[in-house]
Structure 1
Amino acid sequence: MREALGTQFSFRQGAIFMRFRQLDSITQLEPGKRLEGQRLLTGEDMYFRDHFPKFPVLPGALTTEAMVQASEWLMRKTDDFEHAGVWLTELKNVKFNGMVRPGQTLSVISEIKKWGDATATFVTKALADGEAVAAARMTLERFHCAERFPERVDADEWMGAMRLRQFEALDPERPGHYPAPTTYYRWVWIDRFDEFVSGKYCKARKTVCLGNEAVDLYAPYFGIYPPSLIIEGFAQAGGILASESSGFMKRVMLAKIGKATYHRIAGGGDTMQFHVELVDVGDDGAMVTATSTIDGEPHVDAELMFAYIPDGVVDSDFLSPQDKAAMCQLWRVYAVGTTEDGERLQRAKLFDTVDRSNPRVPRP
């Protein structure tokens, strides 16, 4: 299958770029067993501007995406690129043990735990300069696109050939090998809050735009929204909900994804409706349940755990009051927010200390 795909299509150099690529190279590969890959974080990617302005950290969703992509390439190589469609269907027990900073090398290892007729289960881990920072268990599904999407009869050939070229570009010994391209999308994965009830729940939305760089060429020809970014949307909504419950006095960081189940694909023009509920708040962190629907139909269900970062553990610039105020302004928290009793949500007192000359924090 691989040989057939490789001879049917030719692409200009720019066409093989996977702009959402989270690996520079595949360093070890045993089809049917394991794959190792890595990426050097240069700090040039635009998402570091938002995550976070004065304390750049690789988003946990992208660490997860790196583990997903390693597993996808292992599945494709084991399957000899027989199926053009490969899709994440479930995440389990995703744990984040540390931060990944610009200048570090992210190494990812994926191993096949179970291989089935249409699905496979993988155990994965990620390391930053040799130190463990994340681990996950996940299930991926492989399929023929024409069977799943009969209206796109040529998708198998087109996507299969594109994915093969992208895979070959990850070989560090191959002539013309190049690192993952710099990305220029901002790290904002909800468009707005529609409801926000302090200490209880929030509703938000995100519309899939084909002009978004993360969507463009993530899945060639299909315009699919990356599954990891749905988790990030949940994390952004849930993080604001958990942090606001403490008057934004606590720094909140995604610590674990208990489980995430994907029921369908989100494509161009779809509006994902998020419902995030704060189900537990403790001294060390908080837990939320999150769902996404599209046109009233189930899309994704997930459980997320957040940790409170104690003072002194990280730099004081990490999630500063200015950053939190900017997020609330951007997503209109105080325009729609209410208390549990239905009264209008009052601006956090912490924000009274914010320097209004900071261009990131517009006046209300």
Structure 2
Amino acid sequence: MTGLHSSNREVTMTATSPTELSQPSTSEEPVILDVRGLWKVFGPRADRVAGTPLAELSRAELKERTGCVAAVRDASFAVRRGEVFVVMGLSGSGKSTLVRCLTRLVEPTAGEVLLDGHDIRKAGDKELRELRRRRFAMVFQHFGLLPHRRVLDNIAYGLEIQGLKKEARYRRATEMLDLVGLSGYGESYPDQLSGGMQQRVGLARALAVDPEVLFFDEPFSALDPLIRRDMQNEVIRLHREVGKTMIFITHDLSEALKLGDRILVMRDGGLVQTGTPDEVVGAPADDYVREFVRDVSRSHVLTLRWIMRPPSGEDPLDGPELGPDVVIKDAVHTVLHADRPVRVVSDGELLGVVGSAEILEVIAE
């Protein structure tokens, strides 16, 4: 997608389980959004929960004892500039509340949300409006288009709010229209477009203001499967072209694996696991995540890092060479047609070897 899946992680695996798993991958890109100890509690005297023994109660126990619901519980994570960060969970897990807390569409109960080191929880009304106008943009599930405005005017709406002159905002809106593949539809109205086309308009509107962070709140869940796939591919293409930081909310594992550079899994308001797609599939943190990824084809997600083994004294070391971040399915032809083990090499260093036995064991699963 963007090269962000390829990292400097040092992971040595057997065919079925990790023998050494490094810390989550790091990137040279700086952190743009740093979330620390974030809580959102709904109910009476919600501010008495975080930092007290009540915080240790389960969601059900907290509800019974206090009448409060902890929608987000002590969430801490960091998003790097240019990253596609996916938040995934079932309905009621707190993922949509979390993303709304990040933009203060919902006010957090406790914790910090640092944008480039500045806590936006401390922002006043004027500063918050500027953040939403210029640095943040959101793409919603139900499009949120203005039905009485043409497509071009919908795209230009955020620029109009910013006070940009008509000629400049229409020029920018036309560029975004072309970028999302809707050239020629500027004079149309939303109800004249299909659902997928309307979502492209919403995406163009978000991109028009040139935000630093794009938030997607389950934007494709109402679309038909084929249109949904097309829109996922569109997000991948746009990320490759514009390189925006994206925080994407979904309940769909396949969508998360397809789009995410890293994935955060939530349950009952809490964070269960954060990792790259191959880390979530290859080393699930608990039974909840394990059940989530049970039906995933591991060969389509895991890389050669997960199945390579140390070379033995009998292994010839002049076989084909592949990188450690090559996905297993993309290595099958090379490995199975080689008459000697494939060498897994990074920066000139031999990390391990992969033979047909390692490949076939993963495929057989």
TM bucket normalised to smaller: under 0.3
Q: Is the radius of gyration larger for structure 1 or structure 2?
A: 2
Q: TM-score, normalised by structure 2?
A: 0.22
Task: Indicate the structure whose relative CO is greater, using CA pairs within 8 Å and at least 6 residues apart.
Answer: 2
